[in-house]
């Protein structure tokens, strides 16, 4: 068995305008032709892995920031939010007037006004990542998002993301949902734009362990690529941790190597540097 490579999606494999560089596509295909395995390791659910990503050629995925592991067509692990927990989340968010979307493997389900309220927040998020957002819409960023779903109580969720009215919403979510993991994204500390709720006691590093056990593979043969704080457990778990130059200071400090950003052929150049291609 060759090396096993884990690559975060947003900000690492693709940029924040959802553009995939030809160089990254070429690098992954060459690496797999050389006998290496490549898995994406992302906060996204399977419903958010669109055809242009699968068409690169991948061996599987880790999704939901570590709650879902799939090798080829086989689901190896899936820890999901229960129906009772989902009902509690939806009712609490509605009660606070916060817009949200439910992240399930079957699809992304938007709350009643998420399309309208989410657009300027997503645009701000992209701007912070150095990406010109223009007047990009929610439908452009989430092309398969489902709008107008009347029943938002579901039993197949990996995660729920919600627009923060203020940082206090996140702090209150920690107290409201002690049975779940409360986090934020889109900024550090009080600059965060979104809160999220997911299964407790999971992370990308744990999911790497689960997949390696399934494969009968060694941690010594692993590489991990990421750009954000949530990727740090994966970088620390793997033998070689690689951060992209556009990533945060924390992940670059935790990395063994820093490569270029998405738009500067970071994946391709790192694959060359480590003789994966």
User: For the segment 89-130, what is each residue's pLDDT rounded down to a tens digit?
Assistant: 999 999 999 999 999 988 999 999 999 999 999 999 888 877
Cα pseudo-dihedral 26, 241, 124, 175, rounded to 10: 140
Which of 150, 172, 199 is the last residue before a domain boundary? 199
Are 88 and 59 within one domain?
Answer: no
What is the reported pTM?
Answer: 0.85
Are 176 and 211 within one domain?
Answer: no
Count of the separate structural domains present in the chain: 2
Are 39 and 55 within one domain?
Answer: yes
Distance CA 231, CA 66 (A): 10
Which of 164, 184, 199 is the last residue before a domain boundary? 199
Alpha helices, H only, the chain? 22-33, 51-54, 83-96, 114-128, 138-141, 167-176, 204-215, 232-237, 249-254, 266-273
Are 11 and 69 within one domain?
Answer: yes
Which of 174, 199, 224 is the last residue before a domain boundary? 199
Distance CA 222, CA 275 (A): 13
Give the chain's length: 277
Q: What confidence tens digit (pLDDT) does each residue in 213-230 have? A: 999 999 999 999 999 889
Q: Containing domain of residue 35, as a range?
A: 4-78+202-273
Sign of dihedral through CA atoms 55, 35, 226, 109? Answer: positive
Confidence tier at 200 by pLDDT (50, 70, 90): very high
Are 120 and 170 within one domain?
Answer: yes
Are 179 and 212 within one domain?
Answer: no
Residue 135 has a pLDDT of 80
Distance CA 31, CA 41 (A): 17
Q: What confidence tens digit (pLDDT) does each residue in 140-168 have? A: 888 889 999 989 999 999 999 999 999 99
């Amino acid at each position: 068995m060759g090396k096993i490579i884990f690559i975060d999606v947003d900000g690492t494999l693709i940029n924040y305008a959802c553009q995939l560089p030809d160089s990254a596509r070429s690098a992954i295909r060459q690496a797999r032709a050389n006998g290496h395995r490549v898995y994406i390791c992302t906060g996204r659910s399977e419903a958010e892995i669109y055809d242009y990503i699968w068409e690169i050629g991948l061996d599987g995925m880790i999704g939901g920031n570590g709650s879902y592991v799939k090798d080829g067509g086989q689901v190896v692990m899936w820890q999901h939010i229960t129906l009772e927990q989902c009902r509690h989340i939806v009712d609490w968010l509605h009660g606070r007037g916060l817009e949200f979307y439910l992240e399930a493997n079957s699809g992304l389900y938007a709350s009643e006004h998420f399309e309208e309220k989410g657009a300027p927040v997503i645009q701000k998020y992209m701007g912070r990542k150095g990406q010109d957002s223009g007047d990009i819409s929610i439908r452009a960023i989430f092309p398969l998002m489902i709008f107008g779903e009347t029943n938002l109580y579901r039993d197949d969720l990996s995660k729920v993301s919600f627009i923060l009215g203020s940082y206090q919403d996140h702090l209150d979510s920690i107290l409201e949902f002690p049975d779940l993991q409360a986090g934020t994204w889109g900024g550090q500390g009080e600059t965060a734009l979104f809160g999220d709720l997911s299964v407790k006691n999971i992370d990308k590093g744990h999911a790497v362990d689960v997949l390696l056990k399934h494969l009968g593979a060694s941690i010594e043969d692993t590489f991990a690529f990421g750009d954000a704080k949530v990727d740090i457990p994966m970088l620390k778990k793997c033998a070689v941790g690689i951060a992209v130059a556009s990533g945060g200071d924390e992940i670059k400090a935790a990395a063994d190597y820093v490569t270029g950003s998405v738009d500067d052929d970071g994946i391709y150049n790192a694959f060359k540097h480590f003789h994966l291609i």
